[in-house]
A and B are shown apart, each in its own frame.
Chain A
Amino acid sequence: MPTTNSPNTLREGPNENGHFGIFGGRYVAETLMPLILDVEDAWKTAKSDPMFWSELEYYRKHYIGRPSPLYFASRLTDHFQGAKLYFKRDELNHTGAHKINNVMGQALIARRMGKTKIIAETGAGQHGVATATACALFNLECEVFMGAEDVIRQKPNVDRMRLLGAKVHSVTSGSATLKDAMNEALRYWVSKADTHFYIIGTVAGPHPYPQMVRDFQCVIGEETKEQMFEAEGKLPDTLVACIGGGSNAIGLFHPFLDDDVEIIGVEAAGLGINTQQHAASLTGGRPGVLHGNRTYLLQDNDGQITEAHSISAGLDYPGIGPEHSWLFETGRIEYVSATDNEALEAFALCSKLEGIIPALEPSHALAYIKNIISPLPKDHIIVMNMCGRGDKDLEAVIPRLEEMDLL
């Protein structure tokens, strides 16, 4: 348990074996073990090296464009007539989402390890684009594994990756989506151990990835805390973020875990939790072992992993980061869900009222906020992580909004 040393903090996990309570761990083939032990060593060394952090800080400021603003969404606040709503504007980062926060950190570690080639998996393509971007910047070879289904659905991102010099592998095995892209990336990594570094895009995978990715994403919450004190002179009352694997959410939430702040994670309910066509691992799944860690998974009675469904490709994953599973079971964070249609409505509303076209992923967070915000008092402050911008989603969204008479 991460709480053994200081019972008053929820921020110490994982333990030395990468476990958050019963979740997390290193459930990988022996062929992969030396690789992840190497990554862990490099990460430990980097973490305690001020030079590493100052280098990362340089790229955060001058390349990513951090700190991202904390923006008071005044028109939505007026519209809802309830609590005050702020957006943490991580969609303004270079490449348009929070993914680059993590990629930049891992790319610097890969460089320190002397690796010249990078592997990544991607679903919607945002992590793939961020990785291809960092590889272009650092002159690293980049290979991105993407499910064949997603290659078709997310063509603009495939083109971006190619333009940035990355090779995109279209994965046809299994169900040809994100989980299979991750399987394939892990398989490929085993055969290229000497030269390649695997940049995992979310807070999942074997230890140390869930911890390392979280630590790189925590910049979101740390900035928010500071900016909120500046704007309002106090902590926010409620934090809300969407959850697929859960990296943007943990980045916002983690710095607040020990504070008196309500925290809500929003999973993708797809066509509805009771339809089986959803991606809500916590709400609709149960613990299991996949991709190197124990966590909540969508699976059948025999322990076979089932398909996730969400209109948002970035949330379309049958698992969730192990730390979220732990925080779910401890009850520290409340996990809820929003459907495809609710997310689409929020997508349209935010575009119209704030002039911000949100990605479908944070549209789920806003959709849930819509349900709770109005009865709350006017001095109640909600911060939502606007973790990505919606340009990538237009092709999927426009026909649906027309159908729904929202456009």
Chain B
Amino acid sequence: MKTYKEDRLKLLFENLKKEKRGGLGIFIAASDPNLEISLEILKRLPQAGADMIELGMPFSDPMADGPTIQAASLRALKAGGSLKRTLEMVKNFREGDNKTPLVLMGYYNPIYNFGVKNFLNKAIEAGVDGLIIVDLPPEEDEELCLPAQKYNLPFIRLTAPTSDGERLPTILNNASGFIYYVSIMGITGTQSIATQNVQNAVKELKKHTSLPIAVGFGIKTRQDVADVTSFSDAAIVGSAIVNVIEQSLDSNGEGSDKTIADAMALVRDLAAGVKSKKTA
């Protein structure tokens, strides 16, 4: 059993603190629109300004995702995407980048199917820095959260506007890496955030945990990123970039150099949002 040692998330959040800014997390779905383009985008994300990467593991039934990421997931599967291939992508990415934290995001069934121990071993070996598994709430910690803990691999929890004072301790128990605050009641990419509400919620959350807090769901523009990183430790953008990828595809659904260029342009624009505002 090889345990996780790199602590890239921890180092990132320490650095961000020193630099007095929030971080930018970018989500892409692995193998969307195909392996080659997806890998190229992944490799270029840090250089375009992504501080942290969430790599989506494609799943046929993404219950918490809106139409944009659902479509990305299906494109990825159609292009031959699988958990095995996602892990190979991470390995490939790590050959050129040993610093940017990369967390895997997705649903439990492909992992359960792969075998939890096998998955943890392969994920750590590939260079994964954390897991966000949408359909594993604290009630099911024995599945993956506790095994991941044994491997010292961060298991990142989601909290929501409905996570009240009564619920929060349950969520925060066994949380590690950072806390992912889901800023809207709904699914990814559908609504825009109400900044003031999110700020209040993050403030409340900080009373309960010393872990960094990243905000995601509903963050679309440079301004959103600037607003959110003024009071949280990181902003995570997913649907907006996936949307740009989708828009760049030709009539046969094929990607091109334009796909990569458009995605990078958006990330650079979003990154300017982070850097333009200091954390209070």
On chain A, the residues within 8 Å of B111 by CB distance are 303
Partner of A187, one of B59, B157, B187: B187
Say whether A179 faces chain B, with CB atoms less than 8 Å apart.
yes
B190 touches A304 (CB 8 A): no
Known: A173-B67, A183-B61, A304-B60. A29 touches B135 (CB 8 A): yes
Interface residues of A in 322-365 (CB under 8 A from B): none
Dominant SS among interface residues on chain A: mixed
B66 touches A187 (CB 8 A): yes
A28 touches B135 (CB 8 A): yes
A303 touches B187 (CB 8 A): no
For A, the interface residue count at a CB cutoff of 8 angstroms equals 36
Say whether A309 faces chain B, with CB atoms less than 8 Å apart.
no
Closest chain A residue to B158, Cβ basis: A30
On chain B, the residues within 8 Å of A25 by CB distance are 139-140
Q: Bits for B123-142, please: 1 = Cβ < 8 Å to A, else 0.
A: 00000000000111101100
A304 touches B77 (CB 8 A): yes
Known: A17-B139, A25-B139. A34 touches B167 (CB 8 A): yes
Complex CA gap A174/B140 in Å reads 26
On chain A, the residues within 8 Å of B140 by CB distance are 25-27
Partner of A299, one of B66, B109, B135, B160: B109
- Closest-CB distance, A82 to chain B (whole angstroms): 43
On chain B, the residues within 8 Å of A193 by CB distance are 162, 185
Known: A174-B70, A304-B77. A29 touches B112 (CB 8 A): no
On chain B, the residues within 8 Å of A287 by CB distance are 112
On chain A, the residues within 8 Å of B157 by CB distance are 30
Partner of B135, one of A34, A292, A301: A292
Question: A residues touching B (Cβ–Cβ < 8 Å)?
Answer: 17, 25-31, 33-35, 173-174, 179-180, 183, 186-187, 190-191, 193, 287-292, 294, 297, 299, 301-306
A303 touches B63 (CB 8 A): no
Closest chain B residue to A306, Cβ basis: B60
A179 touches B61 (CB 8 A): yes
- Closest-CB distance, A37 to chain B (whole angstroms): 8
Residue among B62, B108, B162, B190 with the highest chain A CB neighbour number at 10 A: B162
A288 touches B84 (CB 8 A): no
Interface residues of B in 18-49 (CB under 8 A from A): none
Say whether B239 faces chain A, with CB atoms less than 8 Å apart.
no
On chain A, the residues within 8 Å of B182 by CB distance are 30-31
Residue among A33, A292, A299, A306 with the highest chain B CB neighbour number at 10 A: A33
- Closest-CB distance, A211 to chain B (whole angstroms): 15
Complex CA gap A17/B190 in Å reads 32
Q: Could you pull out 20 A-B pairs where Cβ atoms are within 8 angstroms?
A: A25-B140, A26-B139, A27-B136, A28-B63, A29-B135, A30-B158, A34-B163, A34-B164, A179-B61, A180-B61, A183-B63, A191-B184, A191-B185, A191-B190, A289-B109, A299-B109, A299-B113, A302-B83, A303-B83, A304-B77
Closest chain A residue to B164, Cβ basis: A34
B137 touches A186 (CB 8 A): no
On chain A, the residues within 8 Å of B108 by CB distance are 27, 289
Say whether B159 faces chain A, with CB atoms less than 8 Å apart.
yes
What 13 new A-B contacts, CB under 8 Å, besides A27-B136, A30-B182? Answer: A25-B140, A26-B139, A31-B185, A33-B137, A174-B60, A187-B63, A187-B65, A190-B64, A288-B113, A299-B113, A302-B84, A303-B111, A304-B59
Known: A302-B110, A303-B114. A26 touches B185 (CB 8 A): no
B137 touches A29 (CB 8 A): yes
Q: How many A-B residue pairs have CB under 8 A?
A: 116
- Closest-CB distance, B232 to chain A (whole angstroms): 17
- Closest-CB distance, B177 to chain A (whole angstroms): 15
Complex CA gap A183/B67 in Å reads 11
Say whether B248 faces chain A, with CB atoms less than 8 Å apart.
no
Say whether B148 faces chain A, with CB atoms less than 8 Å apart.
no
Partner of B159, one of A17, A30, A303: A30
On chain B, the residues within 8 Å of A294 by CB distance are 112
Say whether B74 faces chain A, with CB atoms less than 8 Å apart.
yes
- Closest-CB distance, A177 to chain B (whole angstroms): 12
Say whether B100 faces chain A, with CB atoms less than 8 Å apart.
no
Complex CA gap A99/B108 in Å reads 30
Complex CA gap A30/B109 in Å reads 17
- Closest-CB distance, A191 to chain B (whole angstroms): 4
B159 touches A190 (CB 8 A): no
- Closest-CB distance, A297 to chain B (whole angstroms): 8
Closest chain A residue to B108, Cβ basis: A289
B112 touches A303 (CB 8 A): yes
Closest chain B residue to A304, Cβ basis: B60
On chain B, the residues within 8 Å of A180 by CB distance are 61
On chain A, the residues within 8 Å of B159 by CB distance are 30
On chain A, the residues within 8 Å of B110 by CB distance are 302-304
Complex CA gap A17/B138 in Å reads 11
Complex CA gap A201/B54 in Å reads 35
B137 touches A303 (CB 8 A): no
Residue among A287, A290, A294, A301 with the highest chain B CB neighbour number at 10 A: A290
- Closest-CB distance, B182 to chain A (whole angstroms): 6
Partner of A290, one of B61, B70, B84: B61
On chain A, the residues within 8 Å of B167 by CB distance are 33-34
